[in-house]
Amino acid sequence: MKILVVDDELIVARALSRAFSAKGHDVTVAHSGEEGLEKWIENSPDAVMLDVVMPGLTGPQVIEEYKKRKNMKTHTRVILMTAHSGVKGREPALELGADDFIQKPFENIFNLVTRIEDLVRSK
């Protein structure tokens, strides 16, 4: 599976990257919205782990930009992640064009990886 991790918090990006890699997935990491958008277009990953609050383009803006440029629906599963208390639950995240929503901090990283794998496979 090709996974793109977009998070400005280095340790989060690194942890996710290590967790997915450990399960044998192909992980690409981006540290900003702009970089994430570029790598999303470039790599067409199966899933994008996209942080909501980032300097520059935010997660939802990245989704919007991506759809604007491709002008079509993508096969990529988009998972929005946030530590911010202002965004809660799945519903608002889906409205923003995401397929799933994950509240930081993660309870268990292994469960998270399994959940994303299931999501991609359910496609």
Partner 1 sequence: MIQKAKESVQPKVLIVDDEEAICAAARRLLRSKNIDCVTASTPQEALKILKREDCWVVVSDYRMPEMSGTELLEEIKKNYPNISRLMLTGFLELPIIQEAINRASVFRFITKPWDETELLLGIETAIQHSGRKRTNSQLAHEIGVQNQKLEELTQNLESEVMKRTQGIEESRRMAESKQKLVRELTGFVKNLSRVSTIPQLYEVLYYEMTRFHGVSVPYLLTFEEHGRGRLYWMQHENLHEKHISSLPQHFGSLRLRTSSPEDRVWWESHIKKECRQLVTIPIRAREIPSSLPVALFLVEHDLDKGKLVDFLERITERLQPVSIVLDKIMLRHQLEIAAEQWEATFDGFRDPIAVVDKEEKVIRANKNFFKKDQSRCYEMFDKRTELCIDCPMPIAISSQEAASGLVRTATQKSYRVLSYPVLGSDQVRRVVNHYTDISHERDLYLKLVQSEKLAAVGLLAGNIAHELNNPLSGIRALAQLLKSETSPSSPHHADLDEVERAAIRCQQIIKNLLNFSEPSTEYDENVDINDLISITLPLLKTNLRNQNVHTYFAESIEKVKLQPSQIQQVIFNLVNNASQAMASGGVLTIKTWQEKGKVCFSIADSGPGIPPELHQRIFEPFFTTKGVGTGTGLGLSVSRSIVEKFGGQLTLESKMGLGTVFTVVLPSKPLAK
Interface residue list for partner 1 (CB under 8 A): 7, 9-16, 18-19, 22, 51, 53, 82-86, 104-106, 108-110, 112
- In whole angstroms, the minimum distance from the beta carbon of 19 to partner 1 comes to 6
Lateral strand order in the sheet of 26-30: 26-30, 2-6, 47-51, 77-82, 100-103
Query: What DSSP state is assigned to residue 89?
Result: S
**CB proximity list for 96: less than 8 A, separation 6 or greater:** 59, 60, 63, 80
Based on CB atoms, which residue is closest to partner 1, 43 or 103?
103
- In whole angstroms, the minimum distance from the beta carbon of 25 to partner 1 comes to 14
Based on CB atoms, which residue is closest to partner 1, 74 or 103?
103
